[in-house]
Amino acid sequence: MRVSVIQMNQGSDKAANLEQARRLVEAAVEADRPGLVTLPETWTNLGGGRESRRLAAEALPPEGSGAAGGPAYEMLRGLARRHGIHVHGGSMIEDGGEKLFNTTVVFDPAGGEIARYRKIHLFDITGPDGTGYRESALYGAGDRLVTFEAGGVTFGCTICYDIRFAEEYLALRRLGAEAIFVPSNFTLQTGKDHWEVLMKARAIESQCWILAAASWGQYEERGATRSVYGHSLVADPWGHVVAKVSDGTGWATARIDRAVTARVRRDMPVLEHRAARRVDFEAAARRVDFEGAARRVDLDAAVRPATP
């Protein structure tokens, strides 16, 4: 299965963002004939403060209802149906009533919604340049792990800042994922030092393909100009970056080769090795059995539960 990661330069004009996404998806489909395309995080709006996000937000139809949604939701469905492809809609701003959610929706080639994921880890941090981010002031956090099947491949869903939480990727691998999405608005400040390292690290440790469509360029946020890093990429389960988008908008296409996944997992069976040791390191770190100049935790039955 071929996958195209789409790189956008969206701002706070929702209609223009929809048009840009449609144009890029159609150009990628025309050029590379992918079976699946994936968009960046919050491709329907970037910046413009609380007001712009509220305006761009769409209430989603009840999951599984098949009912119609808003303009962005229906555009994704239309692209999937028209081109006979799977569309992973990066993330949209979901109007969840009280709170917004940073939410992925996925459509199959018939235009049916087959998966929905809300970003679990919210970006409440201070960047190295002193810029503060408080995503949780506006967005609620997701509480579900999500995988779906497309073209014989099991895909896992994550969004942006989730990339820093390795456990989520290992859990998705356990659920059968072979490729994991990370649609992103990575900041330039964090991206220049962390982006590619994190993407490769998650690919290597989960032994999954990493599909990261990103926003690129500048946008306005409450009178200031901010930059997002771009560098949309696909990494294979060995951690090789096999496709990458240059500066600007565009896309890159890679083939998910299941034989590569199988070989990497067979030759380096880290999942089996982890299972064989069965250490609950989190539980171990909550306990100390000896404390002197050194600290020691015995990996006994309390942190190594018997095989079920």
Ligand X SMILES: O=C(O)CNC(=O)[C@H](CS)NC(=O)CCC(=O)C(=O)O
Exposed, middle or buried: residue 32 (CB in 10 Å: 0-12, 13-18, 19+)?
middle
Q: Minimum distance from CB of 219 to ligand X (Å)?
A: 10
- Confirm or reject binding of residue 53 to ligand X (CB under 6 A): yes
> Which token pair is 13?
């004009």
Report whether 40 contacts 230 (CB < 8 A): no
The correct pick among 10, 104, 158, 185 for binding ligand X (CB under 6 A) is 185
Q: How far apart are CA 9 and CA 110, in angstroms?
A: 28
C-beta nearest to ligand X: residue? 190
Report whether 257 contacts 243 (CB < 8 A): no
Q: Minimum distance from CB of 35 to ligand X (Å)?
A: 28
Alpha helices (H) along 179-224: 188-206
For ligand X (CB under 6 A), the number of binding residues is: 15
Chain-centre distance for alpha carbon 285: 29
Pick 22 or 194: Cβ nearer ligand X:
194
The answer to whether residue 51 is catalytic is no
Catalytic residue from among 58, 113, 119, 168: 119
Q: How far apart are CA 259 and CA 136, in angstroms?
A: 40
Pick 147 or 185: Cβ nearer ligand X:
185
Report whether 245 contacts 233 (CB < 8 A): yes
**String of contacts with ligand X for each residue 1-40, x by CB under 6 A:** ----------------------------------------
Pick 53 or 86: Cβ nearer ligand X:
53
Catalytic residue from among 41, 113, 168, 196: 41
- Confirm or reject binding of residue 206 to ligand X (CB under 6 A): no
Pick 50 or 286: Cβ nearer ligand X:
50
The correct pick among 117, 169, 181, 186 for binding ligand X (CB under 6 A) is 186
The answer to whether residue 119 is catalytic is yes
The answer to whether residue 41 is catalytic is yes
Report whether 195 contacts 252 (CB < 8 A): no
Angle made by CA atoms 135, 140, 141, in degrees to the nearest 5: 90
- Tell which residue, 30, 101, 26, has the closest CA to residue 63: 101
Catalytic residue from among 160, 168, 200, 208: 160
Report whether 143 contacts 162 (CB < 8 A): no
Query: Which residues from 221-280 bind ligand X, rule CB under 6 A?
Result: none
Angle made by CA atoms 59, 62, 65, in degrees to the nearest 5: 130
Angle made by CA atoms 257, 193, 164, in degrees to the nearest 5: 60
**String of contacts with ligand X for each residue 132-161, x by CB under 6 A:** -x-x------------------------xx
Pick 108 or 162: Cβ nearer ligand X:
162
Contacting residues toward ligand X, per CB under 6 A: 41-42, 53, 102, 123, 133, 135, 160-161, 164, 185-187, 190, 194
For the annotated catalytic residues, the residue numbers are: 41, 119, 160
